[in-house]
Structure 1
């Protein structure tokens, strides 16, 4: 038990340290490269946590999801499309993982929510940018984003961790897209995008790892 705590908590604590502090320094005078690495470190430590604590193939898959998220976090500071590609790869891996853990029983409202989540998210993303040439790209990316969230919601991973975390991810990305449209001159995206995204990723990885360990009867300190 003591060894497990020593092995797991430092990575989560380091992730929280970088994730929380990034919010307060992101608009400061830190040179761009250092700030980009600071940002990437937050989810990178979640990837290390998943790699060290996640058992079997599925543990490696969620670690890859976090790793591509960290790469996307950094690349998006250089090029939006490059960042989106990294996130899309991560979403694709997450979809494959969540689909392996599909919940056997769901209420009608839960099924309906998952079904509507994909087209509604795509439509919102498509409608946001003022520059209509950007709409198709956002819609294509949002297909992967929303499918990731829908499969997370319908998986047997804890809904109030993994499902909610995936929805926070969706909201965060839609707020990014809103900066191309009606919120381009608003402070709201700057105040909400990172907290929603980081909390979402934190909930996802801890929820998935806990379930994987419980399935293999490995203690969760």
Structure 2
């Protein structure tokens, strides 16, 4: 990679890391609502800028859009859970479209099993988590898109241990959110793990996808 290209990349990734990591330490602080909401969205918003600047063509625009809807979801969920979920849902649909444009030529039986488990297991687990059973169908509907995104990422030609792993971390983070509606309602574990798993997942997806797309263009 040319030295200049590396230097040009650094500011957006550094800004994302600073915003994303620092938010973990202020997420429970008593900050002004709008300021805290913008801080929360900044980590993935900077990834969207990074993708827009460095991922080529239509695929790059799709990747940037995924991150834009992720950042919008991060902020919207602070105001309304359904609005946040809607933003993430749109991002998952775009991600499925991107990943299926780059399907892996062949999958081993274990890889196929992992993809099916992500696709079907994610909404099933999500459906079972809420204590309020009236919320379960809506949670499962969202989780079906989430699982589809992760399954598509795992089955794609994108780097599995960056993009695929990032998608799995995203699934784990969201399932922990749903666990707050049921078995882990009084546990501190979701609060400790949700943000690190989510942000690391988004970071791995974006960086892995940009590297893959730039490599294909070269």
Q: Which sections of structure 1, spanning at least 5 residues, go unmatched?
A: none
1:80 Cα shift?
Answer: 0.4
- How many residues align structurally? 217
Q: Which residue of 2 aligns with 1:206?
A: 207
Note if 1:59 corresponds to 2:60.
yes
Structure 2: how far apart are the matches of 1:71 and 1:117?
24
Indicate the SS of the match to 1:186.
coil
Structure 2: how far apart are the matches of 1:112 and 1:20?
33
Q: Which residue of 2 aligns with 1:30?
A: 31
- Per the normalisation by structure 1, the TM-score is 0.97
Structure 2: how far apart are the matches of 1:108 and 1:191?
35
- Per the normalisation by structure 2, the TM-score is 0.98
1:113 Cα shift?
Answer: 1.2
CA-to-aligned-CA distance 1:86-127 (integer Å, 9 cap, x gap): 000000000000000000011101001111222211111001
CA-to-aligned-CA distance 1:113-166 (integer Å, 9 cap, x gap): 111222211111001011111000000000100000000000010000000000
Indicate the SS of the match to 1:132.
coil
Matches within 5 A, 1:52-201: 52-201=53-202
1:6 Cα shift?
Answer: 2.8
Moved more, 118-127 or 144-153: 118-127
Structure 1: how far apart are the matches of 2:57 and 2:212?
12
Structure 2: how far apart are the matches of 1:40 and 1:89?
16
Q: CA RMSD in A?
A: 0.7
Q: Which sections of structure 2, spanning at least 5 residues, go unmatched?
A: none
Structure 1: how far apart are the matches of 2:119 and 2:213?
26
CA-to-aligned-CA distance 1:48-82 (integer Å, 9 cap, x gap): 00000011110110000000000000000000000
Structure 1: how far apart are the matches of 2:124 and 2:212?
33
